Chain A
Amino acid sequence: MSAGRQRWKSNLLPPLLLLVVTLLAWQLLVWLLDVKPYVLPAPGSVARAAIREYRDLLAAVWLTGKAAGLGLLISICLGTVTALLFSQSQLIRRSFYPYAIALQTVPIVAIAPLIVIWFEEGFHSVVLVTVIISLFPVITAVTTGLTSIDQGQFDLFTLNRASRWQLLFKLRVPSAVPYLVTGARTAAGLAVVGAIVGEFFVSHSLTHRGLGYFIQFSVPNLKVDLLICCVLCATLLGVLMFAAVSLAGRYLLDRWTAEMEQH
């Protein structure tokens, strides 16, 4: 109990205090310097905008979150299957791996409009953009995990005349799980970026009002308070996705990191 309180005091109190101080300073500066609300609204008016638009904002977060989550899920599955293929054939890996790495460096904002042109506007295009940005971290991480196994463990399997499949499912796949978790964590953050960028380009149809739509809508209308709300929501969504993947990862890795006190 007292240990918990101690942790609360040392870990949570300082950042919370800093937040309050920053908000107060921000409010004060806006008042004192008379900053126009279309440049920087006071935290109070941001809060008011959030309350005014909370239904639309929540719906937007839900929609963007759905696209990001679905895209991430597809990336994890597709990335793992691709990595399994890579691990089984040198030829396939040598042929495709350089492109997998090169594609990672292509800016997503440049690809997103192409996707929307090819696949038309709609939820599926947003998901597709999300998959494209979040797929490659999974592929590279899992491929690394599957191919860089411990020499001693490999020898052990060789000595006992393990088949290719035994080697894959009893050694390579379990060895790659921690790598998958790391890759998925990176992908989770990128998925939110992908979903919002995707929404920039499908927002014209007004059928998909995600966070990307609201960001695009706020800028020409000088609704900076709403824009800040969107930024906060997007951040929150990113943190949530990251936390969800981390939690799932920790559950999965329980055996890998089991502590002394567990039985």
Chain B
Amino acid sequence: MISASQIQVIFRDQQAAVLDQLDLQVERGEFVTVLGPSGCGKSTLLRLIAGLQPLTSGRLEVGESEQPPQLGFVFQDPTLLPWRTVLDNIRLPLELQQLPLEQQLQAARQSLQLIGLSDDDATKYPRMLSGGMRMRVSLARSLVTEPDLLLLDEPFAALDDILRQQLNEELLAVWQQRQQTIVFVTHNVSEAVFLSQRVCLMQSNPGLVVDEVEIPFPYPRESALRGEPEFGAMVQQVSDRLRELVT
């Protein structure tokens, strides 16, 4: 689904490269997390894949056919439009792609259900929602186009631990159901281990993927997995590797 080789990104107003000689392969239907310290260019990598950030040099292929894949993107902030209701926020991507209104609403309601929001929530405005609910709406919005590729940029970083765990489980349930390719950026080791099949470790200055760790736990992964000793050992192993990279 994604094939990146020798990627280099230099921002216009900076000398040093944000990403340099970065390689990344993601297969169709895979759930990959990108883990790294703050400021290592994780977000830039994701924006690059989404086409929001131009490439300085290197080769990047996203999608398998001639047609670019349908993309879903979840930002760090919910980025909901405050003047629109929850349902109108969710259907926005389809509205921008100028689908018929009936189709927009139907897909938005489906997405709403998929993410476990009630019809009651649909008519509310973002201000009336808690942080966790807003993030759910943001997630529902990214799923409304039924994307082949879902990109998430530290979506749950601002939430408390329990809420983050819940949303992790919900995201896995969505993935099991829809089987889309997911690239999930985070700086939380336990989150990365819990979610993905493969963790890509990034270093900073310049940002590049230096190591990959396969996570062997079978799906569906339940909350209880976090209590298993193997899970703890895996988190420890990835943490140690990450610490080596930072120092």
Inter-subunit contact B52/A159 (CB<8 Å): yes
Nearest Cβ in chain A — how far from B43, in angstroms? 11
- Measured in the bound complex, the distance between the Cα atoms of B73 and A156 in whole Å is 8
Name A130-174 residues within 8 Å CB distance of B. Answer: 150, 152-153, 155-162, 166, 170-171, 174
Surface stretch bound by A, among B74-82, B111-119, B219-227:
B74-82
Q: Which residues of B contact A158 (CB under 8 A)?
A: 52
Q: Does B233 have its Cβ within 8 Å of any Cβ on chain A? A: no
Inter-subunit contact B71/A258 (CB<8 Å): no
Contact with A along B84-114 (1 / 0, CB 8 A): 0000000011011100000000000000000
Name B6-55 residues within 8 Å CB distance of A. Answer: 47, 50-52
Inter-subunit contact A150/B79 (CB<8 Å): yes
- Measured in the bound complex, the distance between the Cα atoms of B79 and A171 in whole Å is 12
Nearest Cβ in chain B — how far from A97, in angstroms? 23
- Chain B: CB-nearest residue to A150: B79
Chain A interface, >50% SS class: helix
- Measured in the bound complex, the distance between the Cα atoms of B96 and A155 in whole Å is 13
With contacts A159-B52, A259-B127, A262-B128 taken as known, whether A174 is within 8 angstroms of B79 at the C-beta atoms is no
- Measured in the bound complex, the distance between the Cα atoms of B71 and A114 in whole Å is 59
Categorize the interface residue count of chain B: 20 to 34
- Measured in the bound complex, the distance between the Cα atoms of B71 and A155 in whole Å is 12
Q: Which residues of B contact A155 (CB under 8 A)?
A: 47, 50, 52, 73, 75, 79
Q: Which residues of A are in contact with B by a Cβ distance under 8 Å?
A: 150, 152-153, 155-162, 166, 170-171, 174, 177, 255-260, 262
- Measured in the bound complex, the distance between the Cα atoms of B82 and A150 in whole Å is 12
- Measured in the bound complex, the distance between the Cα atoms of B127 and A162 in whole Å is 25
With contacts A258-B125, A258-B127, A260-B128 taken as known, whether A159 is within 8 angstroms of B82 at the C-beta atoms is no
Q: Which residues of B are in contact with A by a Cβ distance under 8 Å?
A: 47, 50-52, 71, 73, 75-77, 79, 81-83, 92-93, 95-97, 125, 127-128, 145
Inter-subunit contact A153/B125 (CB<8 Å): no
Nearest Cβ in chain A — how far from B7, in angstroms? 19
Chain B interface, >50% SS class: loop
Q: Which residues of B contact A174 (CB under 8 A)?
A: 81, 83
Inter-subunit contact A160/B97 (CB<8 Å): yes
Subset of 5 A-B contacts with CB under 8 Å: A156-B79, A159-B52, A159-B73, A160-B97, A162-B96
- Measured in the bound complex, the distance between the Cα atoms of B83 and A173 in whole Å is 11
In the A-B complex, the 7 residue pairs with the smallest Cβ-Cβ separation, listed nearest first, are: A152-B79, A160-B96, A152-B75, A258-B125, A160-B93, A162-B96, A255-B83
- Measured in the bound complex, the distance between the Cα atoms of B75 and A152 in whole Å is 7
- Chain A: CB-nearest residue to B79: A152
- Chain B: CB-nearest residue to A157: B96
Inter-subunit contact A255/B125 (CB<8 Å): yes
Nearest Cβ in chain B — how far from A243, in angstroms? 24
Nearest Cβ in chain A — how far from B40, in angstroms? 20
- Measured in the bound complex, the distance between the Cα atoms of B126 and A153 in whole Å is 14
Nearest Cβ in chain A — how far from B84, in angstroms? 8
Q: Which residues of B contact A157 (CB under 8 A)?
A: 96
- Chain A: CB-nearest residue to B52: A155
